Amino acid sequence: MIEQFVRPSTSFVNSAGLRIGIVIARNNLRNIGSIFGHAYELLTKTGVARENIHVVSVPHSYDLVHVAKSMVGDNAYDVIVCLGNVPGGAACLNLPIEDIATQGFQWVAFYAGTPVVFCVTRDQEQNDAELMKRGAECAQTALRLARSF
């Protein structure tokens, strides 16, 4: 049942020729690496050429917005995907970080005219099915947005 739920539909878009920029925060590679792996797999299965996927890593999730901004500056990408992680703990302490990141991604997309998709997780352990689902959702959203702009 879960496999059917997370299996992405690949018939919704022709991905050939798309250029995708991916920014990955290195501060929790267990979760982020798994999400990236599933997203990358779906992107290539739907026709995005491996040479058209450019991956940049940054030390921390705080750096995602700055790198996304620099990547959209030269219109080299049809969509930017940002994968990050915020520390676990009390939700009220992390809310400002998540709000600031959300606003930053929105402004980058608005001013550059390039869609920015982001997936920011919490530090807590997540099971593989959840990480697979998040990776698939990220890739599907990126593909849809890349073709809609």
The three-point CA angle 119-122-124 to 5° equals: 135
Q: Distance between CA atoms of 19 and 46, rounded to whole angstroms?
A: 13
Contact 78, 19 (CB under 8 A): yes
Q: Which residues of 90-103 are buried (b: 16+ CB within 10 A; e: fewer)?
A: eeeebeeeeeebee
Report the pLDDT value the prediction gives residue 144, as an integer from 0 to 100: 93
Report the pLDDT value the prediction gives residue 7, as an integer from 0 to 100: 47
Report the pLDDT value the prediction gives residue 53, as an integer from 0 to 100: 97
pTM comes to: 0.82
Contact 136, 42 (CB under 8 A): yes
The domain ranges of the chain are 21-148
The topology under which CATH files domain 21-148 is Rossmann fold (3.40.50)
The residues, ordered by sequence, that sit 6+ positions from 63 with a Cβ below 8 Å of its Cβ are 25
Going residue by residue through the chain (149 aa), what tens digit of pLDDT does each one get? 444 444 444 444 679 999 999 999 988 888 888 999 999 999 999 999 999 999 999 998 888 888 998 998 877 999 999 998 876 654 445 556 666 677 777 778 888 889 999 887 776 667 888 888 989 999 999 999 998 87
Report the pLDDT value the prediction gives residue 124, as an integer from 0 to 100: 67
Q: Where are the beta strands (DSSP E) in the chain?
A: 20-25, 53-58, 79-86, 116-122
Q: Distance between CA atoms of 57 and 85, rounded to whole angstroms?
A: 13
